[in-house]
Structure 1
Amino acid sequence: MKPSAAGPFATWLFVGLGVLGLGEARAQDAPAATPTADAGGIGFDADRLHRLDAAVEAALAQAKLPGAVVLVGRGDRIGYVKAFGRRAVQPAEQPMTRDTIFDMASLTKPVATATSVMILIDEGKIRLSDRLIKFLPEFDNHGKGQITIEHLLRHRAGLMPDNAIGDYKDGPEEAWKKLAALSLDFRPGERFVYSDVGFEILGRLVEKVSGQTLDQFARERIYQPAGMTDAHFRPTAGDASKWPNVDRIAPTEPAEPGQPVLRGAVHDPRSRALGGVAGHAGLFATADDLSALARTLLNKGVAPSGKRILSPLAVRMMLDTGDTPPSQRRGLGWDVETDFSSPRGELFGPSSFGHTGFTGTSIWIDPETRAYVIILTSRLHPDNKAGSTTPLRRMVATLAAAAVTDLPAPAPKPAPPVLAARRAPILSVKCGIDVLASRDFAPLRGRRVGLITNHTGQAADGRSTIDVLFHAPEVKLVRLFSPEHGVRGALDVEKIANDVDEATKLPIVSLYEGKKRKPSTDDLADLDVLVYDIQDIGVRYYTYISTLGLVLEAAKSAGKKVVVLDRPNPIGGLGVGGPVRDDDQESFIAYHSIPIRHGMTVGELAKLYNTERKIEADLEVVPCEGWTRDATYDRTGLRWVNPSPNMRSLTEALLYPGVGWLEATNLATGRGTDTPFERVGAPWIKPAEWAKALNDASIPGSRFVPIEFVPSERQYKGERCGGVQILVVDWSTFDPIKLGLGLASTLRKGYKDQWKPDRLQPMLADHATYQAILDGKTAGRIEGLWVQELADFAEVRDRYLIYPE
């Protein structure tokens, strides 16, 4: 099936009632209408419903569809049902009848597969949160070990829409091996992509857990108790006497040119290659079969026969969109509409649900009004040259809405926010130096201390950590050590010289001079303990955390203790992303195998380094008080101090994981302007074109404004650059890693000859990611490369986390 077969319900309704005029067009020949219930007695205006006749016939003629069955119901009664046109045109013409059996195509997903999964959930055999590999361990590769049952049901598993049809040429078992070996396009749970592959896997899951084939399970647990008498996979297989009138099945088109049209064999080639039974396609049924299912769902899982198929909770779960983003709302197998208004009334209002199928089938159900519409066509018959069924669906839904007589007044729709509001509470955070002071400097009393710090090492009262420790009782501060940018954080040069602190007259040993990056044995000889207090920004290539690791190594060699005074991660302790450093890529900007955005504090990283690198130094971390992992720096109540000369705001720190690594290329990234990392450009970039490409890429939480700027330092100093200003418009959805990939992919596509990514490798520290960028892979496919390594890192990271979410 094609992904477009499950479009949103917005395609059902026309924007106005002007479609009613189509009823004046010439109608096709059709059999008489099947007798219907008293529409006026179930909340429909019968006269208005009967206006469907001419309108549907005209829509069929306009789209060149051979015929259709239309059924409109409400509650336990059918208000309208009629067969139009022809069931078959080739090899002989046959009239459409109410009991025509259609290839349901993607309606298989919610009707057969998702319902079967929910039955197994009802029975406690599986849970939505269960990982797929618990039941199908062969899928534990390429990051698929993180896929849950819920991911699959909501089309959020990171799987491609369809795999190659060539994967099925050697039979079902070989096809399943190839399915199990597929790579992900992106991380599970990250976004909605309609995927037949995902529902093929769910069908396999049902078989593994239930011990029955999918068609057997669905027949015994859904169709028979619901009274869906004509619902079958492979309707013409087995005992032919059970199908004395195969002619009731609507044909589709030839599987190959020159062959007869398919009749009773599923149209979807992948399902057909799997023997006609698959989780994404293969079901055949009638309008009355779907009506029985609609009534079952409206009656909270109880079928018209009185038999319970699903629990009320399972039905609610199927229709609950969970935490899916507003633009990607999805139930469990169903397309759920949660923000929609029709031109008249709300027949299909908030939380209505349904699905469509590639062959021309569709159903939509509204729990609020208990109304539903079923439209079945075989739009591919005889030669796949008919038009779209969308106008027909819009037509029927509009007329059905106009026929409802007792609708409640619709609730007013709230105006959508322009920007996401940030209403999280401000915390009262105490950093490690203040916690240490409140404990009377216990770990340092009577000790000779060396302090690794810079201007960010400050107490709550604004005093530097240097001054606090220099005047602390029974603490002997002997020596200072400076990282990149110096003790005062004002230097943006390649080498920091040794110096003397003006206020205390203490010697300052540079850890960023020439090739020197860590204290020597002589530097530590007269010390008892090393104290580290520097504000990090949460990014792997920000070198303060490399200095931290090297200090631990030096302390272990010299037999000295290390005390880390912790500080919050300013861009939050939840977000983790980007490639994890390859083992052969260690450097001063990639000290350990962590991702670009690590989501840890320096205290947590110190614990991780000390154990995972087997340093085993005598380490004590003095934690912050009052900080939670979800809090960015604006919620800490702490004063912002620029961690380095060009890191001038929290916004710039948030952008740095995505913009910083691009500095290795021939781009100006805002250094030498008043907004470093908030603007990116080069003399060869056309600002309007690049801004449009980036905005069209829909990078979450961001917007791009075309600009020109002249940097006063570094790349393109004194030259006019075209580029973009990066705006973070929604902090709740913004991901700097996605931003970086968006910048890179649009540059690679639009400026392949001008943009030079040759020196990216040291910053990315990941061979596969670097090659994927050179190859022009999409951002989603690049992120898919990291799924397993990020999952592995998360398991390690969890052992060293100090703070709650």
Structure 2
Amino acid sequence: MASGDVTAFDTAFALLQQSVDSGRIPGGVLGVIDRAGNRQVRVTGFAQKVGVQRVMTRETWFDLASLTKVIFTTPRILGLAARGDLDLDAPIVSVIPDFRQYAPQCWERQVTFRQCLGHQTPFPAVEPIYTYGDDPERLRAFVLQREWRSGPAVYSDINYILLGIALERIEGRKIRAMDAGSGFAFAGPPDKTAATEFCRWRGRVLCGEVHDENCFALQGSGHAGLFGAVDAVLDFAHDVLRGDAAGDPVVGWMRAPVSERRTHGWERPYDGWSGGHHCNATVIGHTGFTGTGLWIDFERGQAWTLLTNRVHPSRHVDSGIFALRSAVGDAMNRI
């Protein structure tokens, strides 16, 4: 990157540093990469503060939470579509024929892959699936046979839980038996992973095991569960930027709008979104509940990621993550 980029990157990192210095976030990593592969990474704070203290490093792994949706699940579904193995406008039951099998005329059986990718379904945002039992196969059956309450289209984990089950049916194996992708895994090395929450349900500080309760109970899911360090996330973004330049149809779908706020899998700029106030129309982005995020700017040929452990040791505090993401985005948009 040109030397002029440093000032903007420094400005963005200073915002993260302020959040750490104020005690609102234990630690974080900021990284940026361009289409040529040039990158900058800077680290601050602690990977863990409760139980033991560990400093954050460039090699620290993160529970990427809902970045799983866009780094793992979305590319695989779109890849199947690009190869002609899946029709995005076909209903989910084309792969999961037993979905709501006792109600053949129900609305759930009409939901398509494209609608799930773009969160254009009537499913609720979230459901405490983990409270209905501890057998992952029984919980999958619960997801598939439950009469889901219908509401307005919202961002819903249920969409991606279903997409994950579809992938499992197509591949004939559970998600955790699949290739997580270069530099990624479905668990993090405990001594190298940023700690997340003290989980009241599991009775321990989580470190290297998935924070999301439903993903933990399902023992793998399409909506959460991926772990990786900053360079793996940047490598993924670099591949997307290069794929765009090469005309990859998967990246084309990632960019293609399905609604005012969403593309296939990703968010696109709107007033108040996570990527800041000054993004151009080509930017896509996504965040994760644990404090992670990735944004890709196709016009400028760059991507940035902000990885934090803002839920450590508890989600029930005001970490300021929403304002931080937006402010970092505004700084990065100067590059």
Q: TM-score by structure 1 length?
A: 0.39
2:306 alignment partner, one of 354, 358, 375: 375
Equivalent residue letter for 2:269: E
The aligned residue for residue 218 of structure 2 is 274
1:116 alignment partner, one of 73, 76, 82: 76
Farther-moved stretch of structure 1 (293-302 vs 104-113): 293-302
Contact conserved, 2:140 with 2:218, CA < 8 A, in 1?
Answer: no
Q: Deviations over 1:136-160 (max 9, x none)?
A: 1111433212111111111112212
2:47 is the counterpart of 1:87:
yes
1:155 alignment partner, one of 108, 119, 127: 119
Deviation of residue 360 (structure 1)? 0.3
Contact conserved, 1:340 with 1:349, CA < 8 A, in 2?
Answer: no
Deviation of residue 386 (structure 1)? 5.0
SS of alignment partner, residue 267 of structure 1 = coil
How far apart in 2 are the matches of 1:159 and 1:48?
40
SS of alignment partner, residue 81 of structure 1 = strand
The aligned residue for residue 261 of structure 1 is 205
How far apart in 2 are the matches of 1:152 and 1:356?
17
Instruction: Classify 1:192/1:258 alpha carbon distance in 2 versus 1 (closer, same or farther; 3 Å).
Output: closer
How far apart in 1 are the matches of 2:191 and 2:225?
18
Aligned positions of 1:516-555 closer than 5 A: none
2:133 is the counterpart of 1:169:
yes
Deviation of residue 285 (structure 1)? 0.9
How far apart in 2 are the matches of 1:119 and 1:263?
32
Instruction: Classify 1:292/1:79 alpha carbon distance in 2 versus 1 (closer, same or farther; 3 Å).
Output: closer
Aligned length in residues: 329
1:130 alignment partner, one of 62, 66, 90: 90
1:317 alignment partner, one of 253, 256, 260: 253
2:174 is the counterpart of 1:213:
yes
How far apart in 1 are the matches of 2:141 and 2:8?
54
SS of alignment partner, residue 137 of structure 1 = coil
How far apart in 2 are the matches of 1:257 and 1:198?
24
Q: Deviations over 1:479-498 (max 9, x none)?
A: xxxxxxxxxxxxxxxxxxxx
Q: Deviations over 1:206-257 (max 9, x none)?
A: 11112233244343xxx2xxxx32x11134xxxxxxx5xx311111122227
The aligned residue for residue 186 of structure 2 is 233
Q: Which runs of 5+ in 2 are unaligned?
A: none
How far apart in 2 are the matches of 1:270 and 1:182?
15
The aligned residue for residue 300 of structure 1 is 243
The aligned residue for residue 628 of structure 1 is none
Q: Deviations over 1:273-297 (max 9, x none)?
A: 011x111111111111111111111
1:333 alignment partner, one of 265, 270, 283: 265
Deviation of residue 40 (structure 1)? 1.7
Contact conserved, 1:105 with 1:283, CA < 8 A, in 2?
Answer: yes
How far apart in 2 are the matches of 1:257 and 1:196?
20
Deviation of residue 125 (structure 1)? 1.2
Deviation of residue 379 (structure 1)? 0.8
Instruction: Classify 1:172/1:396 alpha carbon distance in 2 versus 1 (closer, same or farther; 3 Å).
Output: same
SS of alignment partner, residue 231 of structure 2 = helix
Aligned-residue RMSD, C-alpha: 2.6
Contact conserved, 2:68 with 2:225, CA < 8 A, in 1?
Answer: yes
Aligned positions of 1:379-458 closer than 5 A: 379-384=310-315, 385=317, 387-402=319-334, 404=335
The aligned residue for residue 280 of structure 2 is 349
How far apart in 2 are the matches of 1:167 and 1:129?
33
Deviation of residue 90 (structure 1)? 1.8
The aligned residue for residue 732 of structure 1 is none
SS of alignment partner, residue 79 of structure 2 = helix
Contact conserved, 1:65 with 1:379, CA < 8 A, in 2?
Answer: yes
How far apart in 1 are the matches of 2:332 and 2:74?
28
How far apart in 2 are the matches of 1:118 and 1:196?
18
The aligned residue for residue 143 of structure 1 is 107
Equivalent residue letter for 2:231: D
1:286 alignment partner, one of 225, 229, 233: 229
How far apart in 1 are the matches of 2:161 and 2:37?
34
Contact conserved, 1:106 with 1:356, CA < 8 A, in 2?
Answer: yes
Runs of 4 or more, structure 1, over 4 Å off, are 338-342
Contact conserved, 1:132 with 1:145, CA < 8 A, in 2?
Answer: yes
Instruction: Classify 1:99/1:110 alpha carbon distance in 2 versus 1 (closer, same or farther; 3 Å).
Output: same
Contact conserved, 1:168 with 1:174, CA < 8 A, in 2?
Answer: no
SS of alignment partner, residue 268 of structure 2 = strand
1:252 alignment partner, one of 163, 172, 196: 196
Instruction: Classify 1:92/1:370 alpha carbon distance in 2 versus 1 (closer, same or farther; 3 Å).
Output: same
Contact conserved, 2:198 with 2:204, CA < 8 A, in 1?
Answer: yes
Percent sequence identity over matched residues? 28
Q: Deviations over 1:438-460 (max 9, x none)?
A: xxxxxxxxxxxxxxxxxxxxxxx
SS of alignment partner, residue 336 of structure 1 = coil
Deviation of residue 79 (structure 1)? 4.3
